[in-house]
Amino acid sequence: MQKQEKIIEMFDEIAPTYDKANRILSFGVDVSWRKKACAYVLKTHPKNELDIVDVACGTGDMIGIWQMQAKKMTKKILSIKGIDPSRGMLEVAKKKFQGVEFIQSGAQSLPLESDSTDIISISYGIRNVVQRQEALNEFARVLKKGGNLVVLEFTKRDKGGFVAFFRDFYLSKILPFLGALVSKNKSAYEYLPNSIEGFLSKEEFIAELEKSGFKMQYFQSFSFGVSSLFVAQKQ
């Protein structure tokens, strides 16, 4: 089985417990990271009526936050779509949200028209895309000129220091143990720290964004570098 197919199969298996595990393993702080990302983009985007696509949408967490933050900021969402290659994740998402179009597809081949959306978001999913540069090219194709790409991700961590030691200990030892208790799938939560370590640094990922025709607009690091927000604009 190819690497991408194995990753999708893993997410199918943990879909029923995914939301519960996320809240426990992040102590709920991942919600605040998502809120800050959506609030920043909605505040700075010049349009008041927006088409939004959430890629690697999983069970739809980011979609719910887009809707909530848009309502707070009196922005109108004309359409919002959730795209994910995992059937299991989409089945959970469809039960949580009405009036949202969910599409089963990989990030590297979006079944969407060119220049058709204002915002594309992908939260903690880009490191799971094997054909990452192809996916970034697709995001640039689908976005309208001046549109925003919003990426939340666990970037490769700096080594050394007191904080880094405890952060790495949690990710490599405690997180797989707790994840196994909640999901009964230890290997899936051993995959998480390994996938972070195998991902890019901030500078390397920005270089890939620029290669696909994006210009960096905003960067923010959360929780001692555990999570990073990238906001880029299609040129």
Question: 74 a known binding residue?
Answer: no
Which tens digits make up the pLDDT trace of 115-157? 999 999 999 999 999 999 999 999 999 999 999 999 999 876 6
For the chain, domain boundaries: 3-234
Residue 117 labelled as part of a binding site: no
pLDDT for 167-224, tens place per residue? 677 777 777 788 888 888 888 888 877 887 778 889 999 999 999 999 999 999 987 7
Which fold is adopted by the domain 3-234? Rossmann fold (3.40.50)
Show the 3-state SS of the chain. CCHHHHHHHHHHHHHHHHHHHHHHHCCCHHHHHHHHHHHHHHHHCCCCEEEEEEECCCCCHHHHHHHHHHHHCCCEEEEEEEEECCHHHHHHHHHHCCCCEEEECCCCCCCCCCCCEEEEEEECCHHHCCCHHHHHHHHHHHEEEEEEEEEEECCCCCCCCHHHHHHHHHHHHHHHHHHHHHHCCHHHHHHHHHHHHCCCCHHHHHHHHHHCCEEEEEEEEECCCCEEEEEEEEC
> Does the annotation place 158 within a ligand binding site?
no
What is the model's pTM?
Answer: 0.91
- For the chain, give the percent of residues with pLDDT over 70: 94
